[in-house]
Structure 1
Amino acid sequence: MSAEQEAGAVDSWRTTLPCTRAEAEAIDAADDLAIDAVLMTSETVEDDREHWRLDAYSEARPDAAMLAAIRALVPSAADVEPEVVPLTAQDWVAMSQQGLEPIREGRFVVHTSAHPVDPPAGGRAFLIDAGQAFGTGHHATTVGCLAMLDGLAGRTVTNAIDVGTGTGLLAFAVRHLWPGAQVMATDIDPAAVTVTRQNAAVNGVEGVALVVADGALDDAIAARAPFDLVIANILAGPLVSMAPELAAIAAPGAAIVLAGLLETQRAQVVAAFEACGATLEAVDRRGDWTILRLTAGAERYVPKTPVDPKGRDGWALDI
């Protein structure tokens, strides 16, 4: 019996190479890389442009052609031998929890099953395990959004929406802060909506309306609009292209919380929303990432031309 068999049934393989952030962003932005593997990039040193990694997950052990294709994505690692590791179901469970210690922000604490904690006094603990959707609460953008929401606690909110909800964490935080408000959580990915429903049950969160929707143009969203709190933790490109539709569902004077953008992308995102009548109110910078809070205009925004979802950039889920 091989060592791999002794460790459990191998169901996939991980190939790892170091890369730079520029290479990681290029990989993430590519539509079709023609590699039969799931590609994931991540920081190895926080806020360091040169120390990132590429992990390629494949069902079969990578052959020479796949290794060559993966190598071609990261020229900076031309002299590095790829690390190829077999993975079992037990490996996936361990990786999903690795390094995910509880995160505390304001009156919230976010934890995984591997790191149970008690809720803070007067606050709320959320159990969010790593799974099929983004948004465990351990990325700077999600933590920054929690801080922004915590800072709005004294504000009156009656109707809120979390666009690109991922795991549902931000929608759950809204439910805690404003228990009497209507709360809607949407995502383009049906799996994310399923995960959010499961997380709501685990955390005893009720009353969050869940919708699978591309952006903010769905009929179910329009029927609930306007919202006095709009949250979108996605990516800079989608935020810019979706600015008119997000502004259109915001009530006059609504709070708009945006995240998923780098500090270098802030000006472009702010300009897109200012063109829709919004005003920048607060900025929370966390390393390279920036979280924005804007206020919608005094009158509800009406797009100057019809918004065509086919004409805007593709967008991603919660980080």
Structure 2
Amino acid sequence: MSADAIDSWRVTLPCTRAEAEAIDAADDLAIDAVLMTSEEVEDDRERWRLDAYMEHEPDAAMLAALRALVPSAAAAEPAVTPLTAQDWVTLSQAGLEPISEGRFVVHTSAHPVEPPPGGRAFLIDAGQAFGTGHHATTSGCLAMLDSLADRTVSDVIDLGTGTGLLAFAARHLWPTAQVTATDIDPAAIAVTRENMVANDVDGIALVVADGALSEAIAARAPYDLVIANILAGPLISMAPEVAAIAAPRAAIVLAGLLETQRAEVVAAFERCGCALEAVDRRGDWTILRLAAGATRYVPERAPDPRGRDGWALDL
């Protein structure tokens, strides 16, 4: 291939912040492209952009699918740009500056950094799984985990692990703990496995599972730290099974919910004996920390995964 040969394409459309957050939080958009959203004008909710990177020239179906993600851009013409022989994933994350949360720094290949003193830097490239650390839900979870650093933790589970980032943070904070990372999507588990190698992380059990219903998850329970960065609907549906795998007084970190959904999520967990301990609001998004009850919760009946109306984890 010559140096100026086209090997990838970029489609750019304007969008709003609300549309960008919906794209970031979506589970499976069934679009064969890496989607990146960014702020065009600082603190302007209406001036954002969507960049979609792909290996093939976009056809009418692809352009229509991208337009459907950003209804506010109905009158805008997509900007289609052919890219020369460069790594399209690297291009897609060129605007992702490193983020810092407590003792953690998260960066992409395009922006390598040194870890802070006594801290840890994680390399998480954008790709097929949610959780680069740049979304408010993921960065908020990192901050919440950092606030628990002085707590004694021996058993951790990260439900809906995405890229594995939160499980990696838990492994750093509690190096002797048993850590399990699960996801409903096998691709996310494959990404987590690759990220473990890239970050020299080991000792994490990886499980493809629908929520907390897997025998492999139950066999390692109870957990004294449960992390679930998914969506409000799944969190509400899963509350009994999450409470059931939590040890008495366990810390439960929940994210992926909007502030407007907080009360309903908290109520679902309070019905299972949990109590709200801390809230971290980041824009429209909210991260919660709850404490499990003083005795281990036993559901009235076994949860039925078929009753969830097709919910999906936020990857």
2:258 corresponds to which residue? Answer: 262
Runs (5+) with no aligned partner, structure 2: none
For residues 314 and 260 of structure 2, the distance between their equivalents in structure 1, rounded to whole angstroms, comes to 20
1:7 corresponds to which residue? Answer: 4
User: In structure 2, do the counterparts of structure 1 residues 179 and 108 end up closer, same or farther at CA, with 3 Å as the change threshold?
Assistant: same
Are 2:304 and 1:308 aligned? yes
Q: Deviations over 1:52-100 (max 9, x none)?
A: 445566744323x765665566443333222223356625133233122
Post-superposition offset of 1:209: 0.5
Map 1:187-226 to 2 at 5 A: 187-226=183-222
For residues 24 and 32 of structure 2, the distance between their equivalents in structure 1, rounded to whole angstroms, comes to 13
Question: Quick check: 277-286 or 196-205, which moved more?
Answer: 196-205
Q: Deviations over 1:268-305 (max 9, x none)?
A: 21111111111100001112211100001112112223
Post-superposition offset of 1:32: 10
Map 1:226-265 to 2 at 5 A: 226-265=222-261
For residues 303 and 240 of structure 1, the distance between their equivalents in structure 2, rounded to whole angstroms, comes to 14
Aligned-partner SS, 2:297: coil
Identity %: 75
Q: TM-score, normalised by structure 1?
A: 0.85
1:150 corresponds to which residue? Answer: 146
Q: Is the 8 A contact 1:187 1:317 kept in 2?
A: no
Runs (5+) with no aligned partner, structure 1: none
Q: Is the 8 A contact 1:37 1:56 kept in 2?
A: no
Are 2:260 and 1:274 aligned? no
User: In structure 2, do the counterparts of structure 1 residues 32 and 271 end up closer, same or farther at CA, with 3 Å as the change threshold?
Assistant: same
Q: Is the 8 A contact 1:41 1:52 kept in 2?
A: no
For residues 272 and 219 of structure 1, the distance between their equivalents in structure 2, rounded to whole angstroms, comes to 24
Letter in 2 for 1:61: P
| Of 279, 282, 286, the match for 1:283 | 279
2:115 corresponds to which residue? Answer: 119
Aligned positions, number: 312
Q: TM-score, normalised by structure 2?
A: 0.86
For residues 32 and 148 of structure 1, the distance between their equivalents in structure 2, rounded to whole angstroms, comes to 26
